[in-house]
Structure 1
Amino acid sequence: MKITADSVAEMMKSAPPNRQKFYWDDDLAGFGFYRLPSGVGTWIVEFRPVSGGSKKRLKLGRVGTLKASEAREAARKTIAHAGLGKDLAKDRADERASGTVRDLVEEYIAGKEMKPSTRDFYNVTLKKHIVPHLGSQKAVAVSRVDVQRAHMKMSRTARYSANRAMALLSAAYVWGAKRGLVPEGMNPAASIDRNKEEARERYLTPDEMTRLGDALREAETVGIPHKASDSKHAPKEKNRTIYGPHVTGAIRLLMLTGCRLREILNLRWDEYDEKRGLLLLPDSKTGRKTVVLSEAAQAEIDGLPRVGKYVIAGRSAGLPDEQPRTDLKKPWAAIAGRAGLDDVHLHDLRHTFASVGAGGGMSLLTIGKLLGHADAATTQRYAHLHVDPTRAAANTIAGQIAAAIGGK
């Protein structure tokens, strides 16, 4: 039959066939449609991928959803591609068989060499941000528009985490392309507009440090007045929550060393060189790291009860399957709140350590070494606090010039 909009409409109005029935176009060989006993019609095209190869059939879409002219054009392109050696039927089958975005990212996380802490962070990012928006989509079918829309939705509740999710997704596509999991060069997460990020600058003032010190002593002696949301695992006496020396000691060590939270919570006793006053960390964020301890920091460590293999004992301390303490969120919230520091995060204690050094005239190079920065540029965030040595130099230079020119 001559397939036109009118002829197909007329055919679709007729009684449905008793079994699947095919109709082929007189002009374009291989183009047609079929009807089922249910009355549904589907556009199809038949072609041979290569000369002498077996014939293949590709569904183009439903009759009624796809116009006759549109179906004809799609069939013409399919046949033309086949003549050039491109098998659209195989491409579509490969797409159906390919893994999802979740599969791709999971394989990347499992197959890429990375630190355990990084792997844990990636798994959380995948579960909380990527899977809800893109996880079930085929990795090879995701477009840049899909990813940009997903990023916008993520950003409504977690602007910075949305950026981390895009970085993870982009890395997974680059990794997957090298291993044939997605087409070479395919990366729909590349060049996505990210949310603007501003470095947080919160340092404790001398008065705030004093208040925090008072709250720490109160926490480990008489206890912090507790609320219903406080840790149920800490003993309560006279409506107060007492926090043990490992909790308060961890907070003090964060301030006295400038270490990262996980560096303190994962610290083992065998990584503490008591004689030389060093922490020999085998695997920090920037790799192996040696922390030079002050007398105050070493005294804090020496004063902690030795329970288990970790300096900061967790709930499983001393048990065969001992694990480090996971976090300090609840104790810190109570202690910081008691000190009137509700806007202070634990990581701000590391910034405070650096800010005291910069404000005291210590070189940025030395501060970077104490903090374990792999890149000197990272320490530059404290440059604006490093004013006393610069002012002294300015006074020396300007003083000589003023004397020469007769300045006041």
Structure 2
Amino acid sequence: MGTERKALTDSLVRGLEPGEKNYSVWDAKQPGFGCQVTPAGVKSYVFKWVLSGKQGWLTIGQTPAWNADRARKYAAQLREEVDNKRDPRRLRLDELEAPTMAKLMDDYFEKHVLRKNKPRTQSEAQTNIRIIKERLGALKVKDCTDTDVQVKLMDALEDTPIRANRARAALSVAFGLAELWKWRPQNSNPCALVSKYPENPRKRFLATEELQELGAELGQREACWPYSVAAVRLLIFTGARKDEVLGMKWADIDLERRQVRITEHKTSGTMGDKYLPLNGGALDVLGFQLDKEGQLVLDGKGRPRRRPGALPRVLGNPFVLVGSGREDPSHPDRRLPWHLMDLQGPWKVIREAVSVKLTSAKKVAAWKKWAALPAPDRLKSPMEAPGIMDVHLHDLRHTFGAFGAGSGLSLPLIGGLLGHSQASTTQRYAHLAPSPLQEASEGISARLAAAMKKAPEGA
């Protein structure tokens, strides 16, 4: 039995019966390649060789995890090592020590994300990394194929296409690093062969009736949530991104030019500092008093006067929208002054209250129950959102742009106000001076404030 040679196939191996002791059937095609069968019926593909007068033996893998063709190909690699006077066990050791996808994603976070991305992007990256590691983590980096990415990642996340696309993008960057670190051959990124899902841009913005109810609700919540309410109003009146508003500092506000400098924003890496016009609505939120012509009212010392009930400024905290602080790395029991972080919680409460006023509590409750279902169940039974339950904080930015378009402003002018990031678009806005941007922003502010029944003084 020990010297029997046959063309090893899956069907032949399945038919091998156990004997009283171990025996091997050797392949007639590939030298040194065989299948060993134990008395217990365990079948393992093996490879034996002679190098420098010494015989070696290596177990490739057991059935059914390994099939005959895969094991034969691996045996051919081992044979090549022997022919080149190298111990084939070194290849197997390299195989075992080869980095996994889990390690790649960990190194991607430590060596790329933490060094190059902002905190918000780092948080998003952690979500993508967790998803990728759950589905691909056990694979060797060099063995991961486009089929793995398609089936185990994209197909598995088909109910959440945007999440799938974000994970694919992160994975593509990680594979680029793997090539740089010699963990994969050059130009072997499997993500290049995997298409992303189409994304339809959100077009949701608030109508006048919705803004009226939102304005009223914000007024009722202002006493208990002054900074959260101010944040929502600033999102509406400026069209800025959430992080731009939350990160505003008093020192960056230039009242003479009526603008605020934003140093940390989505496109700061390519565009540098961003200067956001402060219209009457925004200045009112910040607590500055305006006259009937919309000009700042000055006190006896020539300083801008703060209106009664103005947004509180906290001594020692540089941020406009004050939060509970962040942990001091050197003193975990102490918190450092920081800006407001959680706006989603208050927004959900405000959004629900407005929706109840616009529709009914029963419809809102049904929507919340539906929204908690798994994605496949939601797709089977789609439901129309009551009130503004489907409105995200970023949709307030869309509302600013929509009111600008409704005012007859040109698309380039609206793009300048919103701070679009594409190079070609930015070039089209380059000739726009701050004055028309300011005038355009003031016009939008007046319409938004009127819709919310909270027109700033002088607007």
TM-score by length of 2: 0.66
Name the aligned partner's letter for residue 202 of structure 1: R
Cα distance between partner residues in 1 of 2:321 and 2:68 = 73
Matches within 5 A, 1:218-237: 218-220=220-222
Which of 344, 349, 361 aligns to 1:334? It is 349
Partner of 1:122: 125
Deviation at 1:174, TM superposition (A): 0.8
Name the aligned partner's letter for residue 125 of structure 1: N
Name the aligned partner's letter for residue 269 of structure 1: W
Partner of 1:309: 318
Cα distance between partner residues in 1 of 2:418 and 2:60 = 61
**SS of residue paired to 1:251:** helix
Partner of 1:139: 141
**SS of residue paired to 2:336:** coil
Note if contact 2:149-2:191 (Cα within 8 Å) is conserved in structure 1: yes
Note if contact 2:6-2:28 (Cα within 8 Å) is conserved in structure 1: no
Deviations 1:5-50 (A, max 9, x none): 7999999643226xxx87878997534555667664533223479x
> Structure 1 residue 323 and structure 2 residue 370: aligned?
no
- Cα gap change, 1:82 to 1:190, in 2 (>3 Å): farther
Note if contact 1:5-1:68 (Cα within 8 Å) is conserved in structure 2: no
Note if contact 1:95-1:140 (Cα within 8 Å) is conserved in structure 2: no
> Structure 1 residue 291 and structure 2 residue 293: aligned?
no
Name the aligned partner's letter for residue 138 of structure 1: K
Cα distance between partner residues in 2 of 1:79 and 1:48 = 10
Deviation at 1:134, TM superposition (A): 1.6
> Structure 1 residue 43 and structure 2 residue 13: aligned?
no
Name the aligned partner's letter for residue 184 of structure 2: V
Partner of 1:215: 217
Cα distance between partner residues in 2 of 1:294 and 1:108 = 42
Deviations 1:59-87 (A, max 9, x none): 34447987889967764565357547998
**SS of residue paired to 2:192:** coil
Cα distance between partner residues in 2 of 1:132 and 1:268 = 40
Cα distance between partner residues in 1 of 2:86 and 2:79 = 9
Deviations 1:231-267 (A, max 9, x none): xxxxxxxxxxxx3221111111001111111111122
Note if contact 2:247-2:264 (Cα within 8 Å) is conserved in structure 1: no
Of the structure 1 ranges 54-63 and 279-288, higher mean CA displacement relative to structure 2 is found in 54-63
Cα distance between partner residues in 2 of 1:9 and 1:197 = 48
Partner of 1:15: 20
Matches within 5 A, 1:230-379: 243-287=224-268, 288-302=273-287, 303-307=310-314, 308-316=317-325, 320-340=335-355, 341-375=388-422
Deviations 1:310-364 (A, max 9, x none): 2111123997423322231221122223323222111111011111122212222
Note if contact 2:78-2:91 (Cα within 8 Å) is conserved in structure 1: no
**SS of residue paired to 2:175:** helix
Partner of 1:155: 158
Name the aligned partner's letter for residue 232 of structure 2: I
Cα distance between partner residues in 2 of 1:69 and 1:116 = 48
Cα RMSD of the aligned pairs, angstroms, is 3.7
- Cα gap change, 1:56 to 1:298, in 2 (>3 Å): farther
Name the aligned partner's letter for residue 153 of structure 1: A
Cα distance between partner residues in 2 of 1:347 and 1:169 = 26
Which of 153, 157, 166 aligns to 1:164? It is 166
- Cα gap change, 1:377 to 1:199, in 2 (>3 Å): farther
Deviation at 1:88, TM superposition (A): 6.8
Note if contact 1:48-1:54 (Cα within 8 Å) is conserved in structure 2: yes
Cα distance between partner residues in 2 of 1:103 and 1:55 = 35
Gaps of 5+ in 2: 288-309, 328-333, 356-387, 427-459
**SS of residue paired to 1:189:** helix
Name the aligned partner's letter for residue 305 of structure 1: P
Deviations 1:169-196 (A, max 9, x none): 0111012211223332332222313222
Partner of 1:231: none
Of the structure 1 ranges 254-263 and 340-349, higher mean CA displacement relative to structure 2 is found in 340-349
TM-score by length of 1: 0.73
Cα distance between partner residues in 2 of 1:323 and 1:259 = 20
Of the structure 1 ranges 251-260 and 53-62, higher mean CA displacement relative to structure 2 is found in 53-62
Name the aligned partner's letter for residue 188 of structure 2: M
Name the aligned partner's letter for residue 217 of structure 2: A
Of the structure 1 ranges 4-13 and 330-339, higher mean CA displacement relative to structure 2 is found in 4-13
Which structure ranks higher in relative contact order (CA pairs < 8 Å, sequence separation ≥ 6)? 2
Note if contact 1:2-1:26 (Cα within 8 Å) is conserved in structure 2: no
Which of 195, 202, 210 aligns to 2:204? It is 202
Cα distance between partner residues in 2 of 1:312 and 1:135 = 40
- Cα gap change, 1:3 to 1:259, in 2 (>3 Å): same
Note if contact 1:310-1:317 (Cα within 8 Å) is conserved in structure 2: no
**SS of residue paired to 1:45:** strand
Cα distance between partner residues in 2 of 1:183 and 1:87 = 23
**SS of residue paired to 1:109:** helix
Name the aligned partner's letter for residue 290 of structure 1: Y
Of the structure 1 ranges 345-354 and 71-80, higher mean CA displacement relative to structure 2 is found in 71-80
Cα distance between partner residues in 1 of 2:15 and 2:156 = 46
